């Protein structure tokens, strides 16, 4: 069976199982005691709302328009993002709060929070340009979280929760967009993309080891999506009126993901008691782009907000026209997937996580 057909079949089975188990999920024990999230806007549930310096915020409509309260929350899509969807599927909680949100309840702390920041990357230069909370700085927030958790449940129980929590790391695209492709500030230092990939992966390696030193043991690390198929990247390539995916950038993503898949088992082998899962986002997204009708998508080359070619963050706002049916668009803005896409991704990765736990 081809990779594309296998992925489609897996998504179908995952969706079917998810539907069958929906009633049972309400009373099912969570698969992890908590969820802890690090990364960029693909998983940021609103930390940038409370970080005044940052450029990228999503605390205005049309972001959040399909959330239960129809209000923007800082999530860069029309509804829930991957963080919330995977937490729901694993029976942990419905929405994952940002750590910087004031007045978080003890229960929210105990079941996990998000430390991610839109515009962040593994490369510190990325976060300097966006004024985001860099991925390398997010463990500082995590240390504050640990202190609060210990004050609630005690030292022993706190470390038990952290040891068994699902840790999600999702970052990377900003590094390549802001330092290599669209603004080539790293090209003098790294004339070949392979060298910059190795630099980024070393930073990722450092992050995983730091989180391990703080007690994290069960870690899921996301690979790159098909970078050349992001609407903003199609727009950045001049004379691309037909909006083809940029195949070189996609090949770069594949190479990075191959390196990451090779690196993670090496890290796991060197960290006693760790379990590290590679999160494959490239293949499911590519399948959605190549076979949109299977997923109910009618548009895959532009976002739902505005023209869909360039708008994101403050450029996608209450004055921007939006598509009529959000679930027919793979992307909500020029970079970020729609809630419908995140749902399909959640189905696929939920299956991966459950198989990983059984292994």
Predicted TM-score (pTM) of the model is 0.91
- The pLDDT tens digits for 276-311 are 999 999 999 999 999 999 999 999 999 999 888 877
Catalytic residue among 40, 41, 279, 326: 41
Active-site residue flag, 41: yes
**Domains of the chain with bracketed CATH:** 29-293+336-358 (3.40.50)
Measured distance CA(159)–CA(352) in Å, rounded: 25
- pLDDT tens column, 76-134: 999 999 999 999 999 999 999 999 999 999 999 999 999 999 999 999 999 999 999 99
- Model confidence over 210-249: pLDDT tens digits? 999 999 999 999 999 999 999 999 888 766 677 889 999 9
State yes or no: is 66 an active-site residue.
no
Which residue in 283, 333, 334, 338 is the catalytic one?
333
279 classed as catalytic: no
Q: Are strands 166-170 and 275-279 parallel, antiparallel or unpaired?
A: unpaired
Q: What angle do CA 239, 244, 245 make, to 5 degrees?
A: 120
Is residue 303 within 8 Å of 332, Cβ to Cβ?
yes
- CA pair distance 284, 347, nearest whole angstrom: 10
Q: What is the DSSP string of 252-297?
A: HHHHHHHHHHHHHHHHHHHSTT-EEEEE--HHHHHHHHHSGGGGT-
Nearest to 229 by CA among 168, 159, 175, 303: 303
- pLDDT tens readout for residues 7-43: 655 555 555 555 555 544 445 899 999 999 999 999 9
**How far is 294 from 325, CA to CA, in rounded Å?**
16
Phi-psi region of 313 (alpha: psi -120 to 50; beta: other; left: phi over 0): left
- Cα 170 off chain centre by: 4
Query: Which tokens is 315 given?
Result: 């450029």
Tell me, letter by letter, the H, E, C secondary structure of 106-125: HHHHHHCCECCCCCCCCCHH
Query: What is the SS3 assignment for 24?
Result: helix
pLDDT tens, position by position, 323-343: 999 999 999 999 999 999 999
Looking at 44, 175, 313, 336, which residue is catalytic?
Answer: 336
For the record, the structure tokens of 170 come out as 């999702």
């Amino acid at each position: 069976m081809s990779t594309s057909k296998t992925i489609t079949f897996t998504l179908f089975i995952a969706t079917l199982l998810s539907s069958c188990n929906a009633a049972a999920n309400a009373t099912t024990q969570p698969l992890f005691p908590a969820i802890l999230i690090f990364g960029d806007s693909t998983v940021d549930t609103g930390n940038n709302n409370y970080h005044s310096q940052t450029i990228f915020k999503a605390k205005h409509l049309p972001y959040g328009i399909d959330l239960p309260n129809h209000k923007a929350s800082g999530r860069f899509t029309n509804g829930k993002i991957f963080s919330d969807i995977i937490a729901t599927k694993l029976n942990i909680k419905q929405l994952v709060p940002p750590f910087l949100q004031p007045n978080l309840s003890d229960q929210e702390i105990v079941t996990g929070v998000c430390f991610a920041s839109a515009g962040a990357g593994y490369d510190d230069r990325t976060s300097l340009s966006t004024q985001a909370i860099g991925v390398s700085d997010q463990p500082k927030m995590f240390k504050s979280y640990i202190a609060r958790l210990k004050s609630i449940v005690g030292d022993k129980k706190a470390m038990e929760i952290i040891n068994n929590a699902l840790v999600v790391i999702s970052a990377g695209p900003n590094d390549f967009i802001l330092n290599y492709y669209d603004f080539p500030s790293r090209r003098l230092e790294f004339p070949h993309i392979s060298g910059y990939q190795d630099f980024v992966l070393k930073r990722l390696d450092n992050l995983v080891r730091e989180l391990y030193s703080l007690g994290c043991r069960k870690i899921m690390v996301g690979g790159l999506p098909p970078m050349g198929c992001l609407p903003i990247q199609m727009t950045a390539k001049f004379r691309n009126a037909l909006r083809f995916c940029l195949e070189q950038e996609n090949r770069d993503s594949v190479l990075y993901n191959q390196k990451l898949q090779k690196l993670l088992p090496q890290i796991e082998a060197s960290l006693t008691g760790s379990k590290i899962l590679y999160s494959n986002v490239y293949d499911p997204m590519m399948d959605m782009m190549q076979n949109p009708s299977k997923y109910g998508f009618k548009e895959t080359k532009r976002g739902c907000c505005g023209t869909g070619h360039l708008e994101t963050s403050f450029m996608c706002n209450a004055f921007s026209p939006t598509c009529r049916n959000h679930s027919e668009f793979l992307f909500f803005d020029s970079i970020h997937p729609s809630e419908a896409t995140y749902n399909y991704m959640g189905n696929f990765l939920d299956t991966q996580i459950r198989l990983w736990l059984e292994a």
